[in-house]
Amino acid sequence: MSAVAASSGPAGSSITTKVVIYGLLALFAVFYLLPLFVMVITSFKTLDEIREGNMLALPHNPTVEPWLAAWGSACVGLTCAGIKGYFWNSISMVVPAVAISTLLGALNGYVLTKWRFPGHKWVFGLMLFACFIPFQTVLIPMARILGLIGLADSIPGLVLVHVVYGLGFTTLFFRNYYEAFPNELIRAAQMDGASFFQIFRRILLPSSGPIIVVTVIFQFTNVWNDFLFGASFTSGANAPMTVALNNLVNTSTGVREYNVHMAAAMIAALPTLIVYVLAGRYFVRGLMAGAVKG
């Protein structure tokens, strides 16, 4: 009997531990997903139903009119101008900003690890220091530079801002990832007559999938969710979607159309959610690969 109890004791303790752990994880998941749940169901309710006061109740008569109004395809109450045009502003800003900063970060990481030059550590240190500069400190000089080069109040100006500000992070990611890449392959390619860009394109880039995913997700999230740079360097029809969302909520007069506001917030969040759902597992895998190799 004692032998049976001793053998079943650790197994029972293990099951209890798992139940407690998974129970806590489920509780935390519910806690963090509750605001998202409220946003989704509120976006399908009418204002009369929202006034009933039960935020957690499912909509009795679901409607997509708040989503159409938030997008700009219909009018609900006082809301007629949605975020459709500003959404495409954000798309036209995010795609080139992420692509350019990722490519430049890969080139910087390649140079700082495989084509080292006198003072390369100082260069990397200065670029790393740029990662810790607060956004607010660059607003005035950046606005001055954009004005001088003719890119003030424009989407290309925002692209330039995000490329410059994100370059320190992308360089850090690729430099750490390429640090442990075998130097023998680079030397062999050089002996075979491969040029600088041939080595980069045919040897390093094909093996950089994990860190490219990390960089793209990181940059996409930062650029897409940015509000400060968008509000500071653009206005009117040139503003990104985050600024338009803020204006939509704060310019409402009289009755607050919470259903439209929630629908607009969900539209604004959908691209980030899609990116994380499709590539989230690769993000953690690539981040850990870069950390181990660095």
Encode pLDDT of 149-200 as tens digits: 999 999 999 999 999 989 999 999 999 888 888 888 888 888 888 888 898 8
Distance CA 2, CA 102 (A): 63
Q: What angle do CA 269, 75, 229 make, to 5 degrees?
A: 35
Residues of CATH 1.10.3720.10 domain(s) within the chain? 84-250+261-293
The DSSP code sequence of 103-144 is HHHHHHHHHHHHS--TTHHHHHHHHHHHTTS-GGGGHHHHHH
**What average pLDDT does the structure give for the chain?**
84
Q: Which stretch of DSSP H or E encloses residue 218?
A: helix 209-224
**Residues 289, 177 contacting (CB under 8 angstroms):** yes
The CATH code that applies to domain 84-250+261-293 is: 1.10.3720.10
pLDDT given for residue 252 in this prediction: 60
Query: Reduced to 3 states, what is the DSSP secondary structure of residue 79?
Result: strand
Q: How confident is the model at residue 95 (pLDDT cuts 50, 70, 90)?
A: very high
Whether the predicted pLDDT of 82 surpasses 80: no
> Which tokens is 115 given?
């084509």
- In this predicted model, what pLDDT tens digit does every residue of 242-261 receive, in sequence order? 998 888 877 665 667 888 88
| Ranges 59-68, 74-83, 224-233: which has the least confidence | 74-83
Whether the predicted pLDDT of 286 surpasses 80: no
**CB-CB neighbours of 212 under 10 Å:** 20
